[in-house]
């Protein structure tokens, strides 16, 4: 097995120490940083994403795999130029105003990072104005909104309205959110889980 295949396997099994060692080994073997990310770290995270979607693994396994992926990223990232990291696009993500749930949002962030996006995570309880300010500052192509409470879903609508004059696509998700709701408020995409969020991001970038 090549070093990068071994790295992908180590990401899948969540072995952060091994991923770090293999990232260092791959660099000494002359692999390019972008190749290590794509064919080692992201390749492993993609497998985890598919397994998560198929209910073959659960949240803890995804978090452990993502931690392992980050251990490899930490080794390789300093060697990348900014432009290479941003290759795939920028996603700004946050949980809407009044809502403190962030486990699902963090999973979506990790999967997007794993797929090669630059993700700016604003955190939780983010008001529409704060989203707008961050859009101006970071110029993302996609904004991701998370809500876990039926009482805070309305903030998605408010945020959409606040962002309507910016050239961004808005993707929404969270347990109470549905495709129907996304259509009602005019969101560009809805995803029910983190792996689908990556697929939808790819579609939004291509559209
Ligand atoms: C953990 C949890 C908490 C934790 C949150 C910790 C944290 N750091 O996130 C704590 C204890 C703080 C909490 C507090 C509260 N909670 Co709570 N909480 C939960 C619980 C048990 C799990 C949520 C979770 O993390 N799920 C796991 C993740 C992986 O799933 P997920 O969030 O759905 O995310 C996935 C998808 O939805 C999607 N997704 C998520 N975000 C996004 C974003 C984008 C852009 C996309 C594309 C996709 C996407 O992808 C994710 C990964 O696959 C749920 C019950 C449940 N079964 O959902 C209740 C639940 C959401 N909570 C509830 C309530 C009522 C509250 C409180 C009001 C309780 C109280 N009385 O204080 C407070 C509210 C605090 C606040 N202002 O936000 C209710 C909501 C009811 C409703 N319909 O509105 C629930 C449903 C429990 C219940 N059955 O009553 N909670």
In this prediction, the residues of the chain whose per-residue pLDDT falls under 50 are 83, 86
Going across the sheet that includes 90-95, the strands are 118-121, 90-95, 142-146, 169-173, 189-190
For 86-206, CATH number out of 3.40.50.280, 3.20.20.10, 1.10.3720.10, 3.40.50.300 equals: 3.40.50.280
pLDDT in tens, 5-36: 999 999 999 999 999 999 999 999 999 887 89
User: Is 200 within 8 Å of 173 (Cβ atoms)?
Assistant: no
With CA atoms as reference, report the closest residue to 90 among 157, 181, 182, 167. 167
* pTM for this prediction: 0.85
Mutate to test the pocket of ligand 1, among 91, 100, 101, 176 (most ligand atoms within 8 A of CB): 101
CATH C-level class of 3-84: mainly alpha
Of how many residues is the chain composed? 207
Q: Say which residue the tokens 């939780």 belong to.
A: 124
Whole-angstrom Cα distance, residue 192 to residue 6?
A: 31
> What atom in ligand 1 is closest to the CA of residue 189?
47
User: Is 40 within 8 Å of 22 (Cβ atoms)?
Assistant: yes
Hey, whose CA ends up nearest to atom 31 of ligand 1? 104
Hey, whose CA ends up nearest to atom 61 of ligand 1? 148
Q: What is the structure's pLDDT at 83?
A: 47
44 lines ligand 1 (CB under 6 A): no
Spell out the domain ranges in the chain: 3-84, 86-206
């Amino acid at each position: 097995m090549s070093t990068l295949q071994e790295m992908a396997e180590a990401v899948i099994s969540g072995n952060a120490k091994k991923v770090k060692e293999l990232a260092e080994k791959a660099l000494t073997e002359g692999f390019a940083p972008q190749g290590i990310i794509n064919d080692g770290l992201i390749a492993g995270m993609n497998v985890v994403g598919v397994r998560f979607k198929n209910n073959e693994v659960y949240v803890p396994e995804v978090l452990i795999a993502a931690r392992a992926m980050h251990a490899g990223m930490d080794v390789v990232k300093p060697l990348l130029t900014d432009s290479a990291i941003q290759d795939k696009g920028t996603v700004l993500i946050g949980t809407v105003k009044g809502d403190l749930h962030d486990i699902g949002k963090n999973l979506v962030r990790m999967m997007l990072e794993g797929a090669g996006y630059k993700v700016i995570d604003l955190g939780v309880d983010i008001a529409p104005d704060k989203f707008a300010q961050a859009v101006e500052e970071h110029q993302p192509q996609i904004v991701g909104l998370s809500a876990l409470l039926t009482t805070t879903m309305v903030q998605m609508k408010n945020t959409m309205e606040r962002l309507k004059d910016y050239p961004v696509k808005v993707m929404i998700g969270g347990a109470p959110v549905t495709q129907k709701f996304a259509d009602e408020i005019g969101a560009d995409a809805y995803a029910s889980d983190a792996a689908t969020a990556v697929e939808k991001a790819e579609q939004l970038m291509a559209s």
